Structure 1
């Protein structure tokens, strides 16, 4: 990617990332007016099992919400990084780790918000959502952008003026005795 395009991707990605994180903070850290709250869940998959016991429709809705909440980070974090040529596994690991840390920060901050409770299953579902979206979108998008960049480079080479031959040289002039 050219220098200007990379900067535009990074700036645009960073702005989108900041806007999305502000939305997530507003959504997850606002106080709720409820009559009662459930206890915190520190047992992995206990909340998911409880959702499945409520019925398929309710389980799909709740699990889907958990997967979808931070899923856009799977695309926004690499976009804000602006790297086109990077190891796919390194990018995946970095993105999933950052998504897990954001989810953990949200869960920890929820301890001080009335009506919000800590749920380990939310952390797991949020992280899986980030991973799934990253795997589904980022490798294909990067490959497409690389192909596009290579086509532009080939087209630029073909547009160059044809060579006018070798540069003329002056033969060595002998000096007479």
Structure 2
């Protein structure tokens, strides 16, 4: 039996695909950020916010764009993948943004903490800030428009305006009717 508004098997497959893509992205990020580096010396940890960004800007615009852009883009797909896995269409945009940015910041913080045990890697608070901002920007650029489009498509399917046949999985079944019992025997 299907609950009202849950979306059926198609929504489950959609969310499962999102989970697989999310898992693949996290494995890639883990491989990229948690590999040991073979270096002669290691810089000290950066625990002062924006110090690393200022140092990157001092290197010139091309190198700064490369380093800052890399920090913004590393976890940016989480801004789309986390709401995709959650599968909610009717949610406050601000609550979704805060939830997604906080989750991205926690993933980034976890990576930075794991890097303390990896040879050649050091903690950088600016990486956490850039990763969280990248997640929030990706969320703002993609998720509200995507949710609006899916809501319009769902409403069109429910009304039968998409031109195709109504599939049982695409339309909410509503509340199950109850049959009143008459003359129940002891």
TM-score (norm 1): 0.86
SS at match of 1:118: coil
Shift of 1:5: 2.1
Residue 16 (structure 1) aligned to one of 21, 35, 60: 21
2:101 paired residue among 70, 79, 96: 96
Pairwise CA distance, 1:145: 0.5
Deviation >3 Å, runs of 4+: none
- Name the residue aligned to 2:174: none
Q: 1:48-83 deviations in whole A, cap 9, x for unaligned?
A: 000000100000000000000000000000011111
Determine whether 1:50 maps to 2:41: no
The equivalent of 1:85 in structure 2 is 90
RMSD: 1.7
Deviations 1:114-136 (CA, angstroms, capped at 9, x unpaired): 01110000000000000000000
Q: For the Cα contact (< 8 Å) 1:6–1:83, is it kept in 2? A: no
- The residue matched to 2:42 in structure 1 has which SS? coil
Q: Deviations over 1:21-50 (max 9, x none)?
A: 011111000101011111100000000000
Which structure has more helix as a fraction of its residues? 1
Q: Deviations over 1:144-177 (max 9, x none)?
A: 0000111111117x989xxxxxxxxxxxxxxxxx
- Aligned-pair CA distance for 1:97: 0.6
1:8 & 1:95 partners in 2: Cα distance? 21
Choose between structure 1 and 2 for higher RCO, CA contacts under 8 A separated by at least 6 residues: 2
> How far, CA to CA, are the matches of 2:149 and 2:139 in structure 1?
15
| Corresponding residue to 2:7 among 2, 6, 17 | 2
Gaps of 5+ in 1: 161-177
Whole-Å Cα distance in 1 between the matches of residues 14 and 100 of structure 2?
Answer: 17
Which runs of 5 or more residues in structure 2 are unaligned?
A: 1-5, 167-186
SS in structure 1 at match of 2:146 = helix
CA distance in 2, matches of 1:81, 1:38: 39
Counterpart CA distance in 2 for 1:5 and 1:148 is 14
Q: Which residue of 24, 34, 41 corresponds with 2:46?
A: 41
**Pair 1:142 & 2:117 matched:** no
Take 1:143 and 1:16, find their aligned partners in 2: how far apart are those partners? 22
Aligned mates of 2:155, 2:47 — CA distance in 1: 49
